[in-house]
Amino acid sequence: MTSSSHHPPLAPVALTVLTCVAEIFSMTGFAAYTTLLPVLQREWGLSNSEAGLIGGVYYAGYIAATPVLTGLTDRVDSRRIYLGACLLSALGAAGFALLAEGVASAAAFQFLIGAGLGGSYMPGLKMLADQLEGAVQSRAVGFYTASFGVGSTVSIFACGWIGAAFGWQWAFAWGVAGPVVAAALVTVFMPRGRARAGGHPAPALLDFRPALKNRRTLLYVLGYSVHNYELFGQRSWMVAFLAYCATLQPPEAPMLASAATLAAIVNALGPVMSVSGNELALRFGRTRVIFVFMTASGLTACGIGYTAALPWAIVFLLMCVHYGLMLGDSAALTSGAVASARPEERGATMAVYSFAGFSAAFLAPLVFGVVLDLAGGNRSPTAWGLAFASIGIFGALAPLARWLYLRRARGA
Amino acid sequence: MHNGPTHIGTPVDLAEGIRRIGFRRWYERQLIESHLYLVSCFLSLVMVLACLEGFSLRAPAWEVLLRLAAMVGGAALGMGALARYKAMLDAAEYAAERSVCGRCAAYGILELTAAPAPAAPDDADPPIAPLGVRCRRCGHEWTIE
């Protein structure tokens, strides 16, 4: 592998800031559809199923693009993939703004926007990681991971505001502008990344065998899947749970803020905890910190659903604690996966990592909903308890998994 | 003439693939095609979930039937796509693991030596049937089986 540059080398801090800012801009269209869904449903007369279909196709775009585009970064400079993905996002958002008028067209453009995210998030991470090494790399990856949360929050707020002020088409126009800015930033400032040296045959596209044979990486992939399973299950149902909690409060002591506002405050903890967890991992050891956060978070999730009837301030505090614990291992897992991958297999590794994590993230809200329904519905405290336990159980069992793994490793 | 099974990932395809485009490109195409099946499976799942979300027995009969048909169709399509994905991936990985030359360790630089051989009677149904190959670098011959 070789690394060369047409641009002057950037300091690690500048490089990290550049990549994070580009990532936030590339995600401007991320939440456009979900934020504007009520408007679009009304304007197009969409049923809930049709609305869900359009939303789901976004993830199909992501799953279609991630393994291919992230895997390609082992062959091609990550910047090129990133630029192509930004173009996809911009095209999708432009198409949505100008041409979408119903289920089929909206779904097609959502697919493109999802594919754009799939081709920018992990390739962006690789673009950054390829330029750095050691603790600096780990720290930069931590900030980059946290910037995803910032990007999604910015997208929700900006799309909501622009949509309300100027109409939904302009919110998607914002979704066009962001990726264009991100692409311009990367083109102008980002140094050239690693390129495969001549004489080293490129592996087949989507050939993830070398990455899957790396046992250290596989542990991070597994950990990330558990992390995402709990995180996305919680995120999807947090507002509904807090809304249920509000109905259980006595009339003389109602919730002082809406469930959505409280959930937004909880979400805001994410980036801070993600970066802090990574710093703790650098200080006390990555594996130890990951297991502590994962176990504590899983155990908290197993109990939090039963607390709905407690005073709302306590429930809110517990939600904050749980969310913080859950995000504590996020960046540490990703930086661990990056560090454990051989540089020439980093793209393939990140493709497997993202693909597995995303699959878990997609399943979790469904499982949560099924458990909630089967256990008595959203008016039953026990059902909420079991539903939360369904997403926390894997984290709670992490120490057992680790013990089994170590025992097997010692025996081998 | 194709005497064996005709679906993708079979020995006939592997033999033809090696002959026409070489093992490495055959392998890559198998992976890409299998990925498309996986995406199809995912899209089918999205369709099933979308239909399920709005399902209600209180809706008009035609709508209930339409939703049921879409769910059953989507589930069948998804399961078919998933089965195909798995079969193609299994066959590709099976062949790839056996395509490293035992003498010079070159990977995937193959040419055919013979038509697909019949499978051994005690064979536990491998994803592909035995296929004679030769390393184009050192001439070493072996059977992918």
What's the 3-state SS for chain A?
Answer: CEECCCCCCCCHHHHHHHHHHHHHHHCCCCCHHHHHHHHHHHHHCCCHHHHHHHHHHHHHHHHHHHHHHHHHCCCCCHHHHHHHHHHHHHHHHHHHHHHCCCHHHHHHHHHHHHHHHHHHHHHHHHHHHCCCCHHHHHHHHHHHHHHHHHHHHHHHHHHHHHHHHHCHHHHHHHHHHHHHHHHHHHHHHCCCCEECCCCCCCCCCCCCHHHHHCHHHHHHHHHHHHHHHHHHHHHHHHHHHHHHHHHCCCCCCCCCCCHHHHHHHHHHHHHHHHHHHHHHHHHHCHHHHHHHHHHHHHHHHHHHHHHCCCCHHHHHHHHHHHHHHHHHCHHHHHHHHHHHCCHHHHHHHHHHHHHHHHHHHHHHHHHHHHHHHHCCCCCCHHHHHHHHHHHHHHHHCHHHHHHHHHHHHHHC
Q: Is pLDDT at A44 greater than 90 in this prediction?
A: yes
Residues of B in contact with A206 (CB under 8 A): 28, 31-32, 35
Integer distance in angstroms from the first to the last C-alpha of chain A?
33
Q: What is the mean pLDDT of chain A?
A: 91
Tokens 């080398």 map to which residue? Answer: A9
pLDDT at position A198, please? 56
Tokens 């879409």 map to which residue? Answer: B70
Measured at the alpha carbon of residue A72, what is the angle toward residues A67 and A75, in degrees to the nearest 5? 155
Using CA atoms, how far apart are residues A329 and B123, in angstroms rounded to an integer? 46
Contact check, Cβ <8 Å, B96/A209 = yes
Question: If you count DSSP H runs as helices and E runs as strands, how many of each does chain B have, helices first?
Answer: 3, 3
pLDDT tier, A311 (very low <50, low <70, confident <90, very high otherwise): very high
Using CA atoms, how far apart are residues A254 and A292, in angstroms rounded to an integer? 35
Residue A47 is nearest to which of B24, B54, B96, comparing CB atoms? B54
Residue B31 is nearest to which of A47, A50, A204, comparing CB atoms? A204
pLDDT digits (tens, 9 = 90+) for A126-159: 999 999 988 899 999 999 999 998 998 899 889 9
What distance in Å separates residue A22's CA from the closest CA in chain B? 28
- Scan residues 9-38 of B and list those with Cβ closer than 8 Å to A: 24, 27-28, 31-32, 35, 38
What distance in Å separates residue A88's CA from the closest CA in chain B? 18
Do residues A142 and A289 make contact, with C-beta atoms less than 8 angstroms apart?
no
- Scan residues 35-94 of B and list those with Cβ closer than 8 Å to A: 35, 38-39, 42-43, 46-47, 49-51, 53-54, 67, 93
- Specify the length of chain A in residues: 412
Strand partners, A2: A195
Contact check, Cβ <8 Å, A207/B31 = yes
Q: Is pLDDT at A5 greater than 80 in this prediction?
A: no
Contact check, Cβ <8 Å, B46/A53 = yes
pLDDT digits (tens, 9 = 90+) for A201-227: 677 888 888 888 898 899 999 999 999
pLDDT tier, A10 (very low <50, low <70, confident <90, very high otherwise): confident
pLDDT at position A50, please? 86
B137 touches chain A (CB under 8 A): no
pLDDT digits (tens, 9 = 90+) for A48-80: 778 888 988 898 899 899 999 999 998 899 999
Contact check, Cβ <8 Å, A204/B93 = no
Contact check, Cβ <8 Å, B42/A50 = no
What distance in Å separates residue B50's CA from the closest CA in chain A? 4
Using CA atoms, how far apart are residues A377 and A380, in angstroms rounded to an integer? 6
pLDDT at position B4, please? 42
Using CA atoms, how far apart are residues B137 and B106, in angstroms rounded to an integer? 7
3-state secondary structure of B131: strand
pLDDT digits (tens, 9 = 90+) for A244-280: 999 999 998 889 888 988 998 998 899 999 999 999 9
pLDDT digits (tens, 9 = 90+) for A98-111: 999 989 999 999 99
Minimum CA–CA partner of B71 in chain A: A49
Do residues A89 and A26 make contact, with C-beta atoms less than 8 angstroms apart?
yes
Do residues A136 and A50 make contact, with C-beta atoms less than 8 angstroms apart?
no
What distance in Å separates residue B136's CA from the closest CA in chain A? 16
pLDDT tier, A199 (very low <50, low <70, confident <90, very high otherwise): low
Closest CA to B51 of A103, A116, A62, A263: A103
Minimum CA–CA partner of B54 in chain A: A49
Whether the complex's predicted ipTM surpasses the cut of 0.85: no
What distance in Å separates residue B142's CA from the closest CA in chain A? 22
Residues of A in contact with B49 (CB under 8 A): 52, 56, 366
Candidates A46, A62, A63: best to mutate against B (most CBs of B within 10 A) is A63
Residues of A in contact with B94 (CB under 8 A): none
Using CA atoms, how far apart are residues A187 and A78, in angstroms rounded to an integer? 11
Candidates A53, A212, A352: best to mutate against B (most CBs of B within 10 A) is A53
Residues of A in contact with B51 (CB under 8 A): 49
Residue A48 is nearest to which of B38, B53, B97, comparing CB atoms? B53
Q: Is pLDDT at B10 greater than 90 in this prediction?
A: no
Contact check, Cβ <8 Å, B38/A63 = yes
pLDDT digits (tens, 9 = 90+) for A341-358: 988 889 999 999 999 998
Residues of B in contact with A49 (CB under 8 A): 50-51, 53-54, 67
